[in-house]
Amino acid sequence: MANSRSGESLIQRLVRVLHAFDSDHPELTATELADRAELSSSTAHRLAADMAEEGLLRRTPGGGFRIGLVLWELGQRSSSYQEFGQAALPFMEAVHVTQRQNTSLAILDDQEHTIIYLERLISRDVPTDLTKVAGRLPVLSTAAGLAILAFSPRSLQDRYLCEPWDPITRDSGVTESGLRRRLAQTRTDGYVHLRGVAVAGSSGTAAPVFGTGGKVLGALSIVAPVDQVNLQVQAPTLLAAARGLSRQMGFRRMIGVQAFHSEPEG
């Protein structure tokens, strides 16, 4: 693959173009694209035109560019994450209907040190919620992230706890020993509950989802205002949904809560 003068391959430049788009910038002119992707104007214009030709981007009536349908089509057709999200929806709907709180499915993106949300059901009773489909949040400052990490290999836990933390976690006042205790408690309870970490007045409760061989695949979570938390009701409902989805994904060891947390080692 041909490299630019900077040494970047064409694929790397294409990825930079795609990363320039986000929920705050769904449409960009070629000039804006060059600025956000840190490419020369001529390179951005050429790449955008070529990507539009292949359907990776689409031209807008105003002369800008948006992400094209081809990317969505390929993701829908072949992604295992899409299959996971589709399998989760009935279980999420059961939680959403009974609890009337925002319900999400998240997975870990270890390369980016974030969780990413695959599916989300919204309740009008939750005014502030940072989760959104295809949105990312730090692992250590979210209930879903901690639920996944608690059942991940010990080496992965150590890496997240020992490397520099994201600003939300760093400013929350939590300590490494405190996080280790929370992960241990999560393995005991089968779920984790956080209050007012990412958003003041908001809480998150999450339970892990497992697949074949007991590997943690992701987490189901509820976001609710702190004054509407009732863990005696919410936690069993969430655990039942997570267990049902785990069975759907091929996990068979379902003898009590302990089946969820054999000691995670690498």
Q: What is the pLDDT of residue 79?
A: 66
Q: What percent of the chain has pLDDT over 70?
A: 84
pLDDT confidence of 136, banded at 50, 70, 90?
Answer: confident
Q: What is the mean pLDDT of residues 197-216?
A: 85
For residue 58, the one-letter residue type is R
Is 10-73 a domain of CATH 1.10.10.10? yes
40-98 per-position pLDDT tens digit: 999 999 999 999 988 889 999 988 999 888 887 776 665 678 889 889 999 999 998 88
Q: Which residues of 178-196 are buried (b: 16+ CB within 10 A; e: fewer)?
A: ebeebbeebbebbbbbbee
217-229 per-position pLDDT tens digit: 999 999 888 878 7
Q: Is the pLDDT of residue 13 over 50?
A: yes
The token pair that represents 32 in the structure block: 């804006």
Q: What is the mean pLDDT of residues 227-253?
A: 89
pLDDT confidence of 156, banded at 50, 70, 90?
Answer: very high
Q: Is the pLDDT of residue 175 over 80?
A: yes
pTM given for the model: 0.72
CB 105 within 8 A of CB 218: yes
pLDDT confidence of 266, banded at 50, 70, 90?
Answer: very low
Q: Which of 42-46, 80-84, 124-128, 184-188 has the lowest mean pLDDT?
A: 124-128
Domain boundaries, the chain: 10-73, 79-260
CATH no., domain 79-260: 3.30.450.40
Q: What is the pLDDT of residue 208?
A: 97
Q: Strand pairing partners for 66?
A: 58
Secondary structure (DSSP) of 188-244: HHSSEEEESSSSTTEEEEEEEEE-GGG-EEEEEEEEEEGGG--HHHHHHHHHHHHHH
The token pair that represents 148 in the structure block: 């996944």
Q: What is the pLDDT of residue 262?
A: 39
Q: What percent of the chain has pLDDT over 90?
A: 45
- 3-state helix, strand and coil shares in percent for the chain, rounded to the nearest 5: 45, 20, 35
Mean pLDDT in the chain?
84
Q: What is the mean pLDDT of residues 141-167?
A: 92
